[in-house]
Amino acid sequence: METSLHRDLKLHYADEQTRLEVQVDNFRIDALAGDWLVEIQHSSLSAIRAKVKKLLKKHQVLIVKPLVQTKQLIKRAKKGGRVIDRRKSPKRAGWLDIFEELLYFTHVFPHPQLAIEIVMVDAEEWRYPGHGRRRRWRKNDFIVEDQKLVEVHAAIRIQNGTDLWQLLGKLDLPQPFHTGDLADQLGIDRTTAQRIAYVLRNTSAIQQVGKKGNALLYAHTVQPPAEVA
C-alpha cells in the first residue's frame, strides 16, 4: 500500500510536464519527468536493485531516497481511532546513512544513466496496537497505519564515487589512510567506517594501496571536491 509520504514526495518532485504512475517495460514507474524515470524509494535500495538494473539498459533513472531527519510517532487507540500518544522518535537520520543502503547497491551504482537524490525530510508515523504477521507477539507490538510527509529539507544528488565525498563533509585524511583514520575524522565506530570504505572502494572513489599491520591502506582514486557540504 502506498503511504502518504510516498505520494507526497511524488507530488513534490512533479511539475506540469511530469507524468505520474506510468508503465515502462512492464514496470510501474512512479513518475516520468522529461527523459528521467523517477522512482521514490523509502524502503531499502536493494529492493529495487533488479528493476533498476533492467531499466538502465534503455532509460535514465532518478532514484529519490528520503532519509527521515526527525520523526513524530503518533499512536492511535485502534486502527482509525483517537490519538492517545505523541512523541518524537530518538532516531535521527544523517547523510552517512546512505552508505548503509549503498552496501547492497554497488553492483548498480554508479552508472552513467543513474542518479540518486538523497533528500532529508521530517515525517509523522501513525501507529495502532497490533501484531500484523509477526510470528512472535510482544506486548507493545504495533502496526504502521501511515507515514506522512511534514517537511522537505536539503537534498544532495549523487551520480558517481566523487559525489560521495560530499556526504562525508570536510576531511583531512592522511595519504594513504585506513578506516581508523576515517572513523576518527567522522566521529563514528570502526565498523561503520569499514562499511563506508567498502562503498567508496566499490564505487571507485578510493583504491587499496597496501597494508599497515592488519589495517588496509587506501588512497583517493579521485580528488574530493575542495568544498564539500
Helix 190-202 to helix 179-186 angle (10° resolution) is 110
**Would the CA dihedral through 70, 49, 156, 95 be positive or negative?**
positive
- Domain residues for 135? 4-159
Same domain? For 40 and 124 the reply is: yes
**CATH code at position 180:** 1.10.10
pLDDT tens digits, 106-158: 999 999 999 999 999 999 999 988 876 666 667 678 888 999 999 999 999 99
Same domain? For 24 and 111 the reply is: yes
Closest C-alpha to 9, from 36, 41, 49: 41
pTM of the model: 0.87
- Write down the pLDDT at residue 218: 95
- The dihedrals phi and psi of 162, each to the nearest 5 degrees, come to -60, -40
* Residue 64 belongs to some domain of the structure: yes
Q: Could you report the average pLDDT of every consecutive run of 10 residues in the chain (229 residues)?
A: 86 75 88 88 94 95 95 93 93 94 94 96 92 68 90 94 89 93 96 96 94 91 54
Q: Where is the domain boundary, 159, 183, 203?
A: 159
Cα–Cα distance for residue pair 129/27, rounded to 1 Å: 35
Rg (CA), the chain: 20
Q: Where is the domain boundary, 159, 182, 212?
A: 159
